[in-house]
Amino acid sequence: MSIKIINLNVSFDDKEVIKDLALELPDQGVVSIFGPSGAGKTTLFNCLAGLITPDSGQIIGLENKKLSMVFQENRLLPWFSALKNVAFVINGDEEKARRALSWLELSDAADKLPDELSGGMQRRVAVARALAYGGDVLLLDEPNAGLDESLAERMMSRILEQWSGRLVMLITHDSSLVEKFADYRYDLS
Amino acid sequence: MNKMHNKKALSVLKGVAVALFWLAVWWVLALAVNKQLLLPSPLEVGERFCALIVQGEFWVITVSSLLRVLAGFALGMVVGLAMAILMHKSKIIFALFSPFIKAVRATPVASFIILALVWITSGRLPVFISFLMVLPVAWANATSGIENTDKQLLEMAAIFKVKTWRVWVDIYWPSLRPYLLAAATTGLGLAWKSGITAEVIASPKFAIGSELQSAKVYLETPDIFVWTIVVVFLSIVLEKLLLRLLRKGMS
């Protein structure tokens, strides 16, 4: 069953962020969500993840789906190594976590704390964590932040290899990534 | 390396100089007063101290008081933390217990001691009083620690459906640690002072507070000084030792 967003409305302090949004998402492929800052892209992701309750409207079809996410911020535990950060979401399975880090060329950084990693490496650890967790839907909120163009493209290719046959939703300001990887595009502005 | 040694030696020398200065002030004052009953000289107190520490009873008294205070302190820290967790998890528990904690905070320690004397044996009273004084401090700090835990990390754990016990151990606990260490620093001093005060009033067997009380009754001023110095010394040593242990255990 595909995911349907029906007349979604979200406002913060009387400011409408999402107004009457209606959208039907495919079961697989890459859906790129774009629009200017403040258009409600991250808010839409937070609604899908259940972190925000919309003022009105419905999201149907997510009930039996497992959702994984790369947040706008890295949200890594500062006291855990890269490996333990990934293992944290998969019941401490360090073998699987190590595999996920290697997909993103982070094998050498496994034992380092987030503070000892560059911004781009921290970002990839956050992506590795989401991939290791797995699921039916992957929400990527600016996954390429802090990465140069070639690394961002390589990372997207790896993500899609691991997530094939399932749905990926992507927020990015990088039009070349959208051009290259998005199957569907939705303009929130 | 040499520079560091010099710095340390200089700091020790400074400490000794300050101690000698105040010892001299005490001596001059004792000479001026010239009454052992009112102000014994450092030499008289030193003599009494040497006479006491060779007696086995001195050590039994000191260790008994220490154990009572430590038991009250540990109990206060554990129950304070447990209450903070429970009150964070349930609004009903919060509504029920927050007036109790506010009341404990506001009530003077002497009122509790006198009241508790009716219910508890004199030997257990210092443990109970130390516990009661540490409880609100541990609770307040643990509550602050829980409330200041990074919400974004908690949201992340919720999205990835991380088990509750893991969230507590791996997110809340590391965030709580500095708050609990601060509570331990304040709580230990409170436990020690209130525990000895309870001993003075309840006069249990083998207790520093009871020795202070009997020294007061029999006008043995040098003994009051000796036991007070023991209390201050133990308080400082205990704080340093326990905090070092806690820091090591929590890291």
3-state SS record for chain B: CHHHHHHHHHHHHHHHHHHHHHHHHHHHHHHHHCCCCCCCCHHHHHHHHHHHHCCHHHHHHHHHHHHHHHHHHHHHHHHHHHHHHHHHHCHHHHHHHHHHHHHHHHCCHHHHHHHHHHHCCCCCHHHHHHHHHHHHHHHHHHHHHHHCCCHHHHHHHHHCCCCHHHHHHHHHHHHHHHHHHHHHHHHHHHHHHHHHHHHHHHCCCCCHHHHHHHHHHCCCHHHHHHHHHHHHHHHHHHHHHHHHHHHHHHC
In a domain, residue A48? The reply is yes
A69 contacts in chain B (CB < 8 Å) = 159
In tens digits, chain B (251 residues) has pLDDT values of: 567 778 888 889 999 999 999 999 998 998 888 888 788 888 888 888 898 889 999 999 999 999 999 999 999 999 999 999 999 999 999 999 989 998 888 888 888 888 888 888 888 899 999 999 999 999 999 999 999 999 999 999 999 999 999 999 999 999 999 999 999 989 998 999 999 999 998 888 999 989 899 888 888 888 999 999 999 898 888 888 887 887 777 66
Q: Answer whether A75 sits within 8 Å of B170, measured CB to CB.
A: no
Q: Which residues pair with A23 in a beta bridge?
A: A5
Domain, as residue range, for A154 = 27-53+62-187
Q: What is the pLDDT of residue B240?
A: 87
How does residue A31 score in pLDDT terms, banded at 50, 70 and 90? very high
Residue of A43, A66, A75 to mutate, interface with B, max B Cβ within 10 Å: A75
Q: Answer whether B170 sits within 8 Å of A88, measured CB to CB.
A: yes
List, for residues A65-85, the tens digit of each pLDDT value: 999 999 999 999 999 999 999
B158 contacts in chain A (CB < 8 Å) = 51
Chain A with chain B: Cβ pairs closer than 8 A: 34
Nearest residue of A to residue B175 by CA position? A79
**B174 CB within 8 Å of a chain A CB:** yes
Q: Answer whether A51 sits within 8 Å of B155, measured CB to CB.
A: yes
Q: What is the pLDDT of residue A167?
A: 95
Q: Answer whether B163 sits within 8 Å of A89, measured CB to CB.
A: no
Domain, as residue range, for B16 = 1-34
Q: Are residues B27 and B54 part of one domain?
A: no
List, for residues A34-68, the tens digit of each pLDDT value: 888 888 899 999 999 999 999 999 999 988 899 99
Question: How many CB atoms sit inside 10 A of residue A163's CB?
Answer: 21
3-state SS assignment for residue A182: coil
How many whole angstroms separate alpha carbon B193 and alpha carbon B236?
12
CA of A82 vs chain B CAs: smallest distance (Å): 14
Read off the CATH number of the domain in which A161 is found. 3.40.50.300
Nearest residue of B to residue A49 by CA position? B159
Q: Give the tokens for residue A2.
A: 């595909």
Q: Are residues B183 and B80 part of one domain?
A: yes
Q: Are residues B202 and B135 part of one domain?
A: yes
Cβ atoms of B72 and B131 within 8 Å: the answer is: yes
Q: Answer whether A77 sits within 8 Å of B153, measured CB to CB.
A: yes
Residue of A42, A88, A115 to mutate, interface with B, max B Cβ within 10 Å: A88
Amino acid at B182: A
Q: Answer whether B155 sits within 8 Å of A91, measured CB to CB.
A: no
In a domain, residue A178? The reply is yes
Q: What is the pLDDT of residue B250?
A: 66
CA of A138 vs chain B CAs: smallest distance (Å): 12
In a domain, residue A22? The reply is no
Cβ atoms of A85 and A129 within 8 Å: the answer is: yes
Nearest residue of A to residue B163 by CA position? A91
Q: Spell out the residues 6+ positions from residue A72 whose beta carbon is closer than 8 angstroms to its own.
A: A42, A141, A142
Read off the CATH number of the domain in which B103 is found. 1.10.3720.10
- Rounded to two decimals, the ipTM of the complex is 0.93
In a domain, residue A15? The reply is no
Q: Please count the structural domains in chain A.
A: 1
Cβ atoms of A27 and A64 within 8 Å: the answer is: no
DSSP A36: S
Q: Are residues B72 and B88 part of one domain?
A: yes
Q: What is the DSSP string of A38-76?
A: TSSHHHHHHHHHTSS--SEEEEES-TT--EEEE-SS---
Report which of A69, A66, A134, A72 is spatially closest to residue A97, judged by C-alpha positions.
Answer: A134
Q: Which of residues 96-155 of B touch A (CB under 8 A)?
A: 152-153, 155
How many whole angstroms separate alpha carbon A40 and alpha carbon A148?
25
Q: Give the tokens for residue B109.
A: 């320690």
B170 contacts in chain A (CB < 8 Å) = 77, 80, 88
Q: For B156, which of A50, A75, A80 is closest by C-beta distance?
A: A75
Q: Are residues B113 and B15 part of one domain?
A: no
Q: Are residues B20 and B108 part of one domain?
A: no
Question: How many CB atoms sit inside 10 A of residue A154's CB?
Answer: 14
pLDDT at A189 over 80: no
Q: Answer whether B160 sits within 8 Å of A129, measured CB to CB.
A: yes
Residue of A42, A46, A65, A79 to mutate, interface with B, max B Cβ within 10 Å: A79
In a domain, residue A109? The reply is yes
Q: What is the pLDDT of residue A147?
A: 87
In a domain, residue A103? The reply is yes
In a domain, residue A16? The reply is no
Report which of A47, A55, A68 is spatially closest to residue A5, judged by C-alpha positions.
Answer: A47
Q: Are residues B61 and B30 part of one domain?
A: no
CA of B157 vs chain A CAs: smallest distance (Å): 7
Cβ atoms of B94 and B39 within 8 Å: the answer is: no
Q: Are residues B22 and B106 part of one domain?
A: no
Q: Please count the structural domains in chain B.
A: 2
- Report phi then psi at B183, rounded to 5: -65, -40
Q: What is the dihedral of CA B25, B28, B32, B37, to 10 degrees?
A: 80
How many whole angstroms separate alpha carbon B71 and alpha carbon B77?
10
What kind and span of H or E run contains A18?
strand A15-25
Q: Give the tokens for residue A65.
A: 């789906």
List, for residues A127-150, the tens digit of each pLDDT value: 999 999 999 999 999 999 888 889
CA of A49 vs chain B CAs: smallest distance (Å): 7
How many whole angstroms separate alpha carbon A94 and alpha carbon A92?
6
Report which of B126, B121, B123, B84 is spatially closest to residue B109, judged by C-alpha positions.
Answer: B126
In a domain, residue A13? The reply is no
Amino acid at B27: W
Cβ atoms of B76 and B128 within 8 Å: the answer is: no
Residue of B150, B152, B160, B171 to mutate, interface with A, max A Cβ within 10 Å: B160
